[in-house]
Structure formats: structure tokens, C-alpha cells
Amino acid sequence: MSARLLYVMDPMCSWCWGFTPVIEALAERAARAGVAAVPVVGGLRSERQPLDPAGRVRILGHWQAVNAATGQLFDFNAAMPEGFVYDTEPACRAIVTARGLDASQVWRFMGLVQRAFYLEGADTTRASVLVGLAEEAGYSREAFAQRFDSPEAHQDTAADFDWVRNLGISGFPTVLAERDGRLALLTNGYQPLETLLPLLDRWLDQGAHA
């Protein structure tokens, strides 16, 4: 019997950043039951033009709402400087690259990407930034850079996006529990740990007694 916890997210989604402590606790609980947690990227934004001042203010308003609801910290001043193009595909492709190279390190890497963007004002659309963070997470800089730029990484990222889209998922974070190919929805959107942990425990118990 195969089972996985699937975390549908985007590393440049503010609600996913707010959800980070929750999903980490859920992943730890699942791991204790022998169930791996796997990130799947959904692709939040694919802008091609620099963010205008009004757009920046609008996005910062979303960030303030996430901060108020979750307590996660943001650097509102350094974020998204003039000329920033809010395209999340490179960061998503970096998660897919990390997952393919060494799944055991992908969660650490994902956290570093989110922290760099939301707390340090880093431009995580830039390959050089992502490669540096991958090295910090323990990946080979050369291996990561080579795979990140490969056709396979682009194809695998597009496959994640298509899978998420075909399921009709348009909001992140989403958590799905998969057992023998059958999916159960734990949440679509932010929920606190005290709401989701009983749902996960019930699903894990069902598998234990199946």
C-alpha cells in the first residue's frame, strides 16, 4: 500500500509562506507514520512585465493579511524593488530540480527560497540566487545549475503545473493525502494546525487499519 502527503504550493505564494510552520508539522507527523510528504508546484504567477507601484502596494496588502492571520514575518520594505518581474516559474522549477536531485533536502531548500524572498528581499526569480540557495541547502552547485537549465527540468515543472491544473486546483496552499492513487483533500487554502492535524490523523489511522 503506497501513501504520500502532497503539498501543492508555490514558493513565491505568500499564503504558502504563512502555512510553512503548519505543513512542516504535518509532514513530520506523516513521516512518523511512514508517509512521505512531497511538494508539488502549481505556478502562481507568470508575469513578463515589471511590477508597477500600484501592483506592489496591492501585493503588500496581501502580505500584511498573511502576517496578521499567521504571524509569519515579512520584510515589507526590501521586497519587490523597482523593476521586479513577478514570475514564479524559476522558483517552482528550482523546487522541482531539488526534488529530483535529492528529495531528502527539498524541504530545507524550499524553506530557504521562501525565507530569502519574504524576509531578505532576494530576487528568487534569478537563477544565480536559486543556485546559491541550493548550495546552501547542501546540493552540488554545478549539478543543480546544470539540471535547473535542462529541458527535463522545464518539462517536469510544466508537468506539475498541468497536474495541478487538471485537478482544478487554483488556490495555494493545498494539501492532498494520496493512498493507492486515491486522493483525499485535507485543505485548499490556509488552515491552522489544530484544524488539520485531526484530519491527517484520521486519514493515517484509516490506512493503518485498512
**Residue 39: predicted pLDDT:** 98
- pLDDT exceeds 90 at position 47: no
Q: Tell me the pLDDT band of 46, cut-offs 50, 70 and 90.
A: confident
What's this model's pTM, rounded to 2 decimal places?
A: 0.95
- pLDDT exceeds 70 at position 209: no
Q: Tell me the pLDDT band of 187, cut-offs 50, 70 and 90.
A: very high
Return d(Cα 185, Cα 176) in angstroms, integer. 5
The separation between the first and the last C-alpha atoms of the chain, rounded to the nearest angstrom, is: 9
DSSP string, 161-190: HHHHHHTT--SS-EEEEEETTEEEEEEES-
How many other C-beta atoms lie within 10 A of the C-beta of residue 34? Answer: 10
The pLDDT tens digits for 148-183 are 999 999 999 999 999 999 999 989 999 999 999 999
Q: Tell me the pLDDT band of 132, cut-offs 50, 70 and 90.
A: very high
- pLDDT exceeds 80 at position 104: yes
3-class SS at 203? helix
Cα angle, residue 90 at apex, residues 161 and 87 outer, rounded to 5°: 85
CB 130 within 8 A of CB 94: yes
**Residue 210: predicted pLDDT:** 59
Question: How far is CA 139 from each of CA 10, 108, 123, rounded to the nearest angstrom?
Answer: 20, 11, 20
